[in-house]
Structure formats: structure tokens, C-alpha cells
Amino acid sequence: RILQYGVTMQAIPSNPAREVVLPRNTQKAKRKKVKHFENQELKKFLGYLDNLDSDRYRYYYETTLYKFLLATGCRINEALALSWSDIDLDNAVVHVTKTLNRDLEINSPKSKASYRDIDIDQATVSMLKQYKLRQTKEAWKIGQRESVVFSDFIHEYPSSSRLKRRLQTHFKRADVPNIGFHGFRHTHASLLLNSGIPYKELQYRLGHSTLSMTMYIYSHLSKENAKKA
């Protein structure tokens, strides 16, 4: 403004600041669309999963992982880092205390707020109990015992990049949008907002550092849902 004032007063011939291109992070950021399943898309995808051949362990494993992410809102690398000791099936609680990095090593969670306990419903508890029994039987076949919840029996911890390719295949076969693993987390949040959960409670459940972060990401989702109601 001072430079422009100088131009107006004819002290300088032009305003050099007008030629400056602002860095991206100082320009007005456009809010990215939150990828998530609408209700009909979610029903379609769950129906597709239920029709997969559960006798094939690979399908059974993937179905359990996807439903777990939808039920908890966990980040994919938080889920892949879980050991059975992190899940209290008697009290229906998942203890999130670590995450998996790109080198398939265990790290501390993303932030202090990411340390959290996530309550799960009885349907998810039953699913995990059945899955644990099935996993134990499959591990015995190759002389192994498993403590990692979503172990692939090959590596100590599975790779999210390999699982991502499989997920994309399932999305395509189910004829639903490719929302990625993080889309399960957004879908979880959308469902909770539809049920009337307070933003503060959603913040804790998702492990966000601030309430403003939760509201920035999801406030427009609740507005969209209100319009559809």
C-alpha cells in the first residue's frame, strides 16, 4: 500500500510489488473436496465385500481391514501398526499408540492428540474375534504365530502401498468412486456427523490436534448433509 501511495503521488513510476507472484502457501487456499462415500455408495461397496468369496483368506483379510477402517476412522498406518495387545475386545476399545512409517518401521503417532482410545461397536468386536481365530488357523498352516492384527504373514508389517493397489482394484470392481484409504476415515466422520456427534468428540476420535482442524475439514460436510436431509 505504501508503494502504491508513492505511485499515486508520482514519487515512483510504478509499483514493483505488483509484479511479485505470491508463494502458493500465502495465496488463498482452495478447500479440497473431502473424498468419502455417500450412503448409497457405501451400501454398494459393503454389498460387494459381502459377496466376495470369504473362503479365500486374502479377500477375508481385506474385507476385515476395510470394515475396521470404516468403523474406527483410523489412519491406514495406525491400523497396520496395531498388535492384538492394542485391542481390548472385552471392553470394545482400540488403543492407538503408534503408527507405521514408509520403511515399515514403528513410529510414535502423528501428534500427541493421535494417542487415543477408540470405542468400537459390538458388530466390529464380533468381526475382529472371528478374524483373530481365522488368522490363527492360517498362521498355524505355515508354522507361525501372529501378534500383528493385519499381518500379511510375509513381512513383520504389511505395506500400505501394496494394499492400496488392491483397494483400487476392489473399488473398480464394485463400481464405486476411488476414495482411497483416507476416504474410509472421511466416511466414518461423515456418518458420525449425520448421527449428531459433537465436533469435540469427533476431534478426539480422529486424533486431530485442534478442534479448528476438525471443523475446517468437516464443517462443509455437515452442511451438505443438512441440505440432503
> Which is more confident, 13 or 120?
120
Residue 13 confidence (pLDDT) above 70: no
Please provide the average confidence, as pLDDT, over all residues in the chain.
87
* Nearest-10 crossing angle of helices 211-228, 180-194: 70
Q: Which residues contact 156 (CB under 8 A, 6 or more apart)?
A: 104, 148
CATH homologous superfamily for 39-228?
A: Intergrase catalytic core (1.10.443.10)
> Which is more confident, 118 or 28?
118
Complete DSSP assignment for 141-167: HTT----BTT--SSSSS--HHHHHHHH
Global pTM reads 0.83
**Residue 77 · residue 101 · CB < 8 Å:** yes
* Confidence class for position 137, pLDDT limits 50, 70, 90: very high
* Domain ranges within the chain, ordered by starting residue: 39-228
Residue 225 confidence (pLDDT) above 70: no
Residue 166 confidence (pLDDT) above 60: yes
Cα separation, 160 vs 177, in Å, equals 19
> Which is more confident, 34 or 54?
54
> Which is more confident, 28 or 209?
209
Check residue 59 and give its pLDDT: 98
